[in-house]
Amino acid sequence: MIEQTDLLNNSRNTGEGSFTLPGGSITVNRMGYGAMQLAGRDGDKLVWGPPRDVEEAIAVLREAVASGVNHIDTADFYGPHVTNQIIRKALAPYPDDVVIVTKIGARRGQDGSWIPANSREELTAAVHDNLRNLGLDVLDLVNLRITFSIHGPAEGSIEAPITVLAELQQKGLVRHIGLSNVTATQIAEARQIAPIVCVQNMYNLVQRSDDALIDDLARDGMAYVPFFPLGGFNPLQSAALSEVAVRLEATPMQVALAWLLQRSPNILLIPGTSSIEHLRENLKASTLQLPSEVVAELDSIGQASRH
């Protein structure tokens, strides 16, 4: 699926540049798309059930790919199963350069809760669920999400689940392995068991606890993929960010995304939306160049949030 050549040799929106994951077999444009918001909502159950308009969700995915997005992030526990089934309906047979990245390590309770699912049986079932619902024979990249704490990364050995995922890789069901919601110690532990190509943690203009980790991964040529790059269910709110956006004639969210792209060349973005209009706004962030003085001004937002 992913024997890619130079992805920049096309006329689509690739102004943000590309990044090649360790191993050299996957190159993606740095502005990707996160599919979580394609699922619906049922009362207090977020990311649950089908969206109100499935055809609109399909249109968003097709617009993203037509605009140059070739990195789509998903998980079979979104819905559950909903986003993967929509992705398959929208994009299969998949273009050769499209990379589908999924996550395992959690499942959904009937009440909509997010439940850790890291046993051998659960991880194996999750890989097969993703394969079936996406309509694939092999998964390009699977992120193992560690759920020791709902409040962010927490220390603890991940040898057992990463060993299971490495075995699934050896069986040919998974090409590459990544980690999500992890600490630097856990990344080091995992790399003793299997090659790790990317890390996906929460990070944005305000949430900056992974600053040192991003720089360490960049030195090793590994990708860092911030989830909730725009703040997640509670969008970023900052008077300073809004003021910068007005000066640059951009939206605050475009500025926040542009800041991430300029933060480090190993950062890959996966902002999500269920709206074509918002998708187009997000993609424009890839062409927004922030002057050095603006970057310094925005950096101060994160510094202030840590005090």
Q: Residue 178: which CATH number?
A: 3.20.20.100
- The answer to whether position 175 is within a domain reads yes
Q: Rounded distance, CA 158 to CA 29, Å?
A: 30
Single-letter code of the amino acid located at 109:
G
- The answer to whether position 13 is within a domain reads no
Sign of CA dihedral 129, 134, 137, 142: negative
- The answer to whether position 286 is within a domain reads no
pTM for this one?
0.92
- The answer to whether position 254 is within a domain reads no
Q: Rounded distance, CA 275 to CA 252, Å?
A: 17
Q: Quick check: helix, strand or coil at residue 29?
A: strand
How many CB atoms within 10 Å of residue 234? 8
pLDDT lower than 50: segments of the chain: 1-15, 307
Q: Where are any strands of DSSP class E within 146-207? A: 174-180, 196-200
42-47 long-range contacts, CB within 8 A, separation 24+: 42/112, 44/112, 45/111, 45/112, 46/112, 46/233, 47/78, 47/79
- The answer to whether position 42 is within a domain reads yes
Give the pLDDT of residue 306: 57
For the annotated catalytic residues, the residue numbers are 78
pLDDT in tens, 271-298: 999 999 999 999 999 999 999 999 999 9
Two structure tokens written together for 6: 């130079």
- Domain limits for position 140: 18-235+265-271
Give the pLDDT of residue 302: 77
- The answer to whether position 51 is within a domain reads yes
- Contact assessment for residue 278 and residue 272, using Cβ atoms and an 8 Å cutoff: no
Spell 61-79 as b/e; 16+ CB within 10 A means b.
bebbbebbbbbbbbbbbbb
Give the pLDDT of residue 235: 64
- Contact assessment for residue 230 and residue 257, using Cβ atoms and an 8 Å cutoff: yes
Longest pairwise C-alpha distance within the chain: 53
Q: Rounded distance, CA 250 to CA 231, Å?
A: 18
- The answer to whether position 149 is within a domain reads yes
- Contact assessment for residue 202 and residue 225, using Cβ atoms and an 8 Å cutoff: no
Q: Which residues pair with 198 in a beta bridge?
A: 178, 223
Pairing between β-strand 223-224 and β-strand 41-42 as defined by DSSP bridges: unpaired
- The answer to whether position 258 is within a domain reads no
- The total number of structural domains that make up the chain: 1
Give the pLDDT of residue 2: 31
Q: What are the backbone dihedrals phi and psi of residue 211, each rounded to the nearest 5 degrees, phi first? A: -55, -50
Q: How deeply is 150 buried, as exposed, middle or buried, from its count of CB atoms within 10 A (0-12, 13-18, 19+)?
A: exposed
CB-side neighbour CA atoms (13 Å) of 18: 23
